[in-house]
Chains A and B, each alone.
Chain A
Amino acid sequence: MSEVIAIRDPWGKATTGKLAMWLFIIMDGLSFGGLLIGGAALRLSMSNWPEPGLVLNIPLTAFNTFLLICTSFTMVMALNAIQKGDQKGLKNYLAFTMAGGIAFLGIQVYEYSHFFLGNETLTQHLAEAGFVGASNFVPSTGTYAAVFYATTAFHGLHVLSGVIYIACILYAANKWNYTSAQSDKVEILGLFWHFIDLIWIFVFTVIYLI
């Protein structure tokens, strides 16, 4: 009765911050799950759902997907650099990653603005997709548009938070001269960034491909 049992922690050496990020990722994944499953439920109940590629520009977004996967790679390189104590490498790779994130957002904004402004080709494509008379593609165009915007914008906001998060770490790394002792902070950032990337693969598949 009286002997002391040390706390057994099944998560081994993971830092508290890392555990919290994992938990946050699970929670955030549930939010995305809610959106994706809700969108799928609406889609199943509809008789008319446009073919992929009729309205959306798949090659452009495929390129964007490729870009985001590349930033996951540079994020791994950033962590790798700081684990070896290479501060310059860390900063460079983080800057690459951030630039990639900004480019991703830029392309998304371009895509949205194209839809909002509308043009003759878009009008024609929308008519083929069943939105006869629609001159642009906005959230109120239909359930198809609503699901598209809700899902991609929610993801876009995550990329934006990720870019800001990278900027903060970049600033801190510069100011306090990160060494391998601070590699944990970069690793936690990396978890979030890879999660955004992974979720995008789901979003891309569900919204653009099937």
Chain B
Amino acid sequence: MSEHHEQSFWSKYIFSLDHKVIGKQFLWLGLFFVLFGGFQALLIRWQLAYPEQPVPWWLLGDILFSDTGGIIDPDKYNALFTMHGTIMIFWAITPLLIGAFGNFVIPLQIGAPDMAFPKLNMISFWTMVLASIVLLGSYFLPEGTAAGGWTSYPPLSSPVGGIAGEGQTLWTLALTLAGTSSMMGAINYIITVVRLRAPGMTYFKMPLTVWGLWLTSILNAIFVPVIAAGLILLLMDRTIGTQFFISGGLATVDGGDPLLYQHVFWIFGHPEVYILILPAWGIVSDLLSVFSRKPAFGYKVTAIAMTTVASLSMLVWGHHMYTTGMSPLLGKSFMFLTLLISIPSAMFFFNWLGTLWKGSIKFDPPMLFAMSVMWVFGIGGLTGLYNATITADIYLHDTMFVVGHFHYTMAASVLFGSFAAIYFWFPKMFDRKMNPFLGKLHFWVSFIPLNYVFFNMMVLGYGGHHRRIYDPSNYDFLKPMMWLNEYITWFAIALGLAQLIFVYNFIHSMLKGEKAEANPWGAATLEWTLEAPIPHGNFETVPTIYNGPHEYSNPKVKDRDWISQSEPISS
């Protein structure tokens, strides 16, 4: 390291093959885009609360919208909600939970020296960087970035009658590249879990975090190739004049079908919801056990229920398309299958309650976030039933109710799951502790505004507030609810400000935080047996696994209330 200093900087931090470093790289990428996408949300909220009033300086109004005197014009507004959704889903949550924690945690928790294909892992990250450059590059085009909504339905995303300029084209290209990165990751994660588990680490001794990430990778492997095919067709429509998704008056030839795009998009898009949330479910299942000092209740049932949800998620995409004139028989089938998902979901949800029951709960920041996932996911799941039921959905479709619902499941559950993961694994990643007081403060000042924002969005939606309108004050029936829009905006701003606490805590703790011991939480999984700094290659000797991942408060263990997976229990 001392001889080849310059060389080793590049191979150690930039083009590293070490899964721990690549995990951190994904973490930085994800955190950057969380803040970027979150900021766009505030601009959207500003327009909804104070339509066509200049954006204040502290939201960078005079810099970003200088040519319109700080006012967000309709085109820019379309671009804002499009890119907010795209970035949060594909560039923030995906790199955070799957890229960062998938990489960092999977090999450590299964006792592997690294991923099965370290080079592929590195290429996967740099493909994501390339995708990010293409995506951000679209902002600098004369006609601006994509503006067809995060779903980019044709004809909104069509070259004729849709979004002008190349922004939408770059969007499609960037998403294809991000998908390629995900596919490489999926191959790597799946093979790593199948092949590199330490002796004794059977599938039913794997931590539930690994279960979640593994199932996510399987869904990624199955469905990202499908959306990739769809995106290639969309790209052809936009560049070489095919008309796969264009029909009616916009088409010059017959045969194209915009509904085909919707089918392809949602065949992928619904599993994508579970791709994002399965890791969070796994992490929450493990953390509830660690901080209740009790084995996870119904461990096997949770693993099997998660697998069942993953399987069912392949058959329900039609519930996004009830209002496209699909046959009632088909619609009812999709509705039945969708509602069926609530059974396995309820199974692991009650298992979570079972884990907490009579536990000696420690309210550390990771636990607060993990428990809050139960609350927000509970609300998100229950309101999903309204959207899954055709009769209710025909009224609620495309309203703010849907926005509130999926922000509870995606933004809230997945983001809080990510926060739980960051607070939990920070000592292992950076060898230092995060400030627990600031962590708890961050939790409360995030949790309260977040609920206010997203619950009231559902209220607005029930009042008929469409999800993508530019100026709600144009509609008489929405005027009485403008005050609610204003309140939501101010709570959203509070939620945004709360993240500054996190940013400060994160950076300060990383540089100057208190040194962490090897196992600060008294956790039983393998990564906590390693002393920092963990070398490239992780384990000096391959560990042998004796116990399940949740050996807490075992009466056979005398001096402490946990025992590592690699330590035999002597009786």
Contacts and interface: CB of A to CB of B under 8 A. Distances in A.
A45 B228 CA distance: 23
Nearest to A3: B546
Interface string B191-205: 100110101111000
Interface stretch (A15-23, A57-65, A81-89): A15-23
Which one of A2, A26, A141 has the highest number of Cβ atoms from chain B below 10 Å of its Cβ? A2
Contacts of B226: 30-31, 33-34
Contacts of A9: 194-195
Given A4-B200, A27-B221, A139 B117 contact: no
B222 interface: yes
A44 to B, nearest CB: 10
A171 interface: no
Contacts of A31: 225-226, 228-229
Contact of B191 (A8, A23, A144): A23
Interface stretch (A35-43, A95-103, A184-192): A35-43
B254 interface: yes
A19 B242 contact: no
A6 B197 CA distance: 10
Contacts of A38: 229-230, 233, 244, 260, 264
A150 interface: yes
Interface in A145-162: 145-146, 149-150, 154
Which one of B221, B230, B255, B544 has the highest number of Cβ atoms from chain A below 10 Å of its Cβ? B255
B400 interface: no
Given A5-B200, A6-B200, A41-B257, A143 B194 contact: no
A46 interface: yes
A7 B199 contact: yes
Nearest 8 pairs of A and B residues by beta carbon: A143-B255, A140-B241, A34-B229, A146-B242, A31-B225, A30-B225, A142-B253, A4-B200
Interface residues of B, number: 46
Contacts of B63: none
Contact of B233 (A5, A28, A150): A150
Nearest to A143: B255
Interface of A: 1-2, 4-9, 11, 16, 19-20, 23-24, 26-28, 30-35, 38, 41-42, 45-46, 48, 138-146, 149-150, 154
A16 B187 contact: no
A24 B187 contact: yes
A142 B255 contact: yes
A202 B518 CA distance: 56
Contacts of B535: none
A24 B256 CA distance: 30
Which one of B194, B197, B224 has the highest number of Cβ atoms from chain A below 10 Å of its Cβ? B194
30 contacts: A2-B546, A2-B568, A2-B569, A2-B571, A4-B199, A6-B199, A6-B200, A7-B202, A20-B187, A27-B187, A27-B221, A27-B225, A31-B228, A34-B230, A35-B232, A42-B244, A46-B254, A139-B236, A140-B240, A140-B243, A140-B252, A140-B253, A143-B242, A143-B243, A143-B255, A144-B255, A145-B242, A146-B236, A146-B242, A146-B243
Nearest to B256: A143
Contact of A42 (B223, B225, B255): B255
A9 to B, nearest CB: 7
Which one of A5, A26, A45, A143 has the highest number of Cβ atoms from chain B below 10 Å of its Cβ? A143
Contacts of A138: 241
Nearest to A7: B197
